[in-house]
Structure 1
Amino acid sequence: MTSWRERTLGEVVGLQRGYDLTADDRAEGTVPVMGAAGHNGYHNEAKVSAPGIVVGRSGGSFGQVHFCETDFWPHNTAMFVTDFKGNDPYFVFYLLKLLNFDSLNSGSAQPSLNRNYLYPVKAMVPCPADQVNVVSIIRKIDQKIALNNKINAELEAMAKLIYDYWFVQFDFPDENDNPYKSSGGKMVWCDQLKREIPEGWQASSVLKVSDIVGGGTPKKQVDEYWNGDVLFFTPTDAPDQCYCHKTEDAITDLGLKKSSAKLLPPNTTILTARGSVGKAVLCGSEMAMNQSCYALVPKDSEAFVHCFFLAKNLVEHLRVKATGSVFNSIISSDIESTKLAIPKSELVQKYSKLANPMFQKIECLSRENIELAKLRDWLLPMLMNGQVTVGDRVLFSDKNEARALHEPAIGIDADL
């Protein structure tokens, strides 16, 4: 640690409040707008050259730190780095992520961040040349997580494209492998849907292909019902991607037994009915859920991807139906009464053979990302305070103990 010195944050970085930009002032463009919660849209003008860092300065995103690798517009809900003062931008990013911003709150009822509260904070900082080495392994982990997320997004988009082509546009392969509707496949008028659908299809609710399950919450005041091994999903647990593998709360087997909550099997689709209304999420493992959700358990377990996209289709129908009023909840009668075009089971089975491997890969990479994030979060504080250093494929601690980083099962590519 010979290059490490105690420095104030003001010696390491310069910060400034972002710029005002109302919705009316935004112009169509490709420049990211970076606010307290990260990327929140685009504009046609950049105020800051890449690379850049923003820190949420108020509200619910107070203290959130985000990195931007392209020129951007820093929004006034955040502060941004104006000067890295010769330091490695990625090192500064990880250093800021380790700060306890709760102790730096300059507001009262509303959390608020003032750079004058940040500048006196002291931290151990190596010389710029060593900073790159310190964060190299963390960057590799984050790059692998980002790559996995990109692969997952592309796989989901591919499965959705096929779904839309087959079940929305009705151009599924006919007996000659030609697109059904475009090739003149027979269409019949459906009074319930007020449109034509392929012959042999029917108008029905999602209950034709799935069972609906409601949620419930064990009594909060009974300690024996909580902090168990059963994942307990609520709308706030809905991830950005399709699979949910972790929840903020967990309940015990007794809590499950003493409430109306049910244990849902993997690949069940959960629909959020209140709060963040209309999100569709697949269970990555067995879990229960609260009463602000409904679950759709596919009657054919192999048809879970079709059920997932059908649930999303249902939500879009409900949004359209709610035009002119507030779409703030889903009730069971909405699910039961909304008619959709339900295909023949043979076609769903054919689709499942294509889509299921894609979603199995998504599920696998989602689990991998959880383990990668755990590894990153375990290593980060030790690397950033000099407790361990990065050698050539080996991490060394101050006690001269070595922990070799061979090609790990989680798959960090040394050349990523």
Structure 2
Amino acid sequence: MKINQKVKLGDICTIRTGKLDSNAAIEGGKYPFFTCAQETFSIDKFVFDTEAVLLGGNNANGIFPLKYYQGKFNAYQRTYVIESKDGNKALNKFIYFSLRPFLDYFKSASIGAATQYLTKPVLDNLKINLPDIDTQRSIIDIVYAYDDLIDTNRRRIQLLEEAARLLFREWFVYFRFPGHEKVKIVDRDGRKMPSDWDYLPFTKIKIFKKAPLGVPVFTDIRQYYQTSEIDSTTITGDGKEVDYENRPSRADIAPRINTVYFAKMKDTDKVLYFNKGNSFLLEKILLSTGMVGFTTDEKYLGFLFGLLKSYEFVQYKNNFATGATQVSLNNASLKKIKVLFPKLNLVELYSEIVNPLLEKCSLLRNQNQKLVQARDLLLPRLMSGEIKV
């Protein structure tokens, strides 16, 4: 086939959905569970054992996640599972790359008010370019080279942040910090802790200051990211361009340097940190009031990240979250969270080790942003045949 020959997606692919509710996810499950969220969850049972493209079919903001996977998995009842009917004519990975440039179109073609739905007829009738198999493979190789670099950087970020988390646990949960042999462990109010540490409300720790809400007047255009567009410690959504006057009411956080923000909603583990490595973002983005931030001195930033990212803090947050429709922390419940706070020299020593790791993570994310921009500029030109391969 020629590069400019268009075919309907429904003619070359089977398009079906999963059968499960979105709350069927199981933490630590054996198989991936694809829903309409940007993050991929897990589950203990699989239904599909195939190579497929996964496309979320509903989203409050019309941001439909698009993923590729090969193996055993399960899917939510509004997640489309798209497979080539004939692998000799259309490669699944090529279908995945072909759909990427249409994500903005899907947003405009969806229906619904509170929640936007991507209907199957939209997908069935979507026309894509389908070249011959050799050309498909060449395009896949070019685009995959970008994706491979991006994935490598993501894995490096995960390893560096996991190293920080594990060190925090070793020092401040298991009490195996430098010099621990000389420190007496006492039982204080039923809690074992080093005798010279404090147990106090998180909001009472003097080296951390709650970052205020409010956005200084700006005259340019900024990118607003909702909490749903954050996965773990990374912004994964495309955001929305806003100006000062017409921004959503929840777009009321301008990030600050040496500040860590976390999602207030229960059962979420979303944390963003701002340091020298990503300080250029401070005047380019806005965050949702679904986040809350705390600012500190640079020499304590690593510890603040480790604390807010710790399993213990997330559990405290879940325990004190309140609300009927949306269960999350408010100012009153935030004040109820109590944490162990070590001697300041340990806080500084831990941060001295972890801060360079977080700086490296910020630089790797910056690299990924540039790689994504370059890939996304190249992809539609490859798919249209404007660039020959």
TM-score by length of 2: 0.78
Give the structure with the higher percent helix: 2
The one-character-per-residue Cα deviations of 1:372-412 (angstroms, maximum 9, x if unpaired) are 1111111111111011134xxxxxxxxxxxxxxxxxxxxxx
From 303, 308, 316, the equivalent of 2:305 is 308
The one-character-per-residue Cα deviations of 1:334-364 (angstroms, maximum 9, x if unpaired) are 4455432211121122212221221111111
Q: 2:388 is paired with a residue of what secondary structure?
A: strand
C-alpha contact 1:203 1:340 (8 A) present in aligned 2: yes
Q: 1:251 to 1:276 in 2, by over 3 A?
A: farther
> Which deviates more from structure 2 when the two are superposed, residues 198-207 or residues 152-161?
198-207
Is the radius of gyration larger for structure 1 or structure 2? 1
From 209, 212, 223, the equivalent of 1:211 is 209
Q: What is the match of residue 9 of structure 2?
A: 9
Structure 2 residue identity aligned to 1:190: R
Q: What is the match of residue 65 of structure 1?
A: 66
Pairwise CA distance, 1:95: 1.3
Task: Report the count of equivalent residues.
Answer: 369
The one-character-per-residue Cα deviations of 1:256-294 (angstroms, maximum 9, x if unpaired) are xxxxx7865423112344699774321232356565543
Where do residues 234-249 of structure 1 align in structure 2 (5 Å cutoff)?
235-236=227-228, 238-241=230-233, 248=240
Q: What is the match of residue 249 of structure 2?
A: none
Q: Distance in 2 between matches of 1:364 and 1:102?
A: 31
Q: Distance in 2 between matches of 1:353 and 1:247?
A: 33
Where do residues 3-402 of structure 1 align in structure 2 (5 Å cutoff)?
4-20=4-20, 30-37=30-37, 39-49=40-50, 51-60=51-60, 63-85=64-86, 86=88, 87-99=90-102, 100-102=105-107, 105=110, 111-174=116-179, 180=180, 183=181, 185-191=183-189, 194-206=190-202, 207-216=205-214, 225=217, 228=220, 235-236=227-228, 238-241=230-233, 248=240, 264-273=255-264, 279-283=270-274, 284-285=278-279, 286=282, 292-298=290-296, 300-312=297-309, 313-322=312-321, 328-336=327-335, 338-390=337-389
Q: What is the match of residue 396 of structure 1?
A: none
C-alpha contact 1:204 1:341 (8 A) present in aligned 2: yes
Q: What is the match of residue 403 of structure 1?
A: none
> Which deviates more from structure 2 when the two are superposed, residues 159-168 or residues 326-335?
326-335
Q: 1:22 to 1:297 in 2, by over 3 A?
A: closer
Structure 2 residue identity aligned to 1:356: N
Q: Distance in 1 between matches of 2:367 and 2:214?
A: 30
C-alpha contact 1:4 1:127 (8 A) present in aligned 2: no
Q: Distance in 1 between matches of 2:255 and 2:28?
A: 44
> What are the ranges of 5 or more consecutive residues in structure 2 without an aligned counterpart?
247-251
Q: Distance in 1 between matches of 2:63 and 2:235?
A: 27
Q: Distance in 2 between matches of 1:267 and 1:150?
A: 24
TM-score by length of 1: 0.74
What RMSD, in angstroms, separates the aligned Cα atoms of the two structures? 4.0
Structure 1 residue identity aligned to 2:106: F
Q: What is the match of residue 394 of structure 1?
A: none
Q: 1:48 is paired with a residue of what secondary structure?
A: strand
Pairwise CA distance, 1:84: 3.8
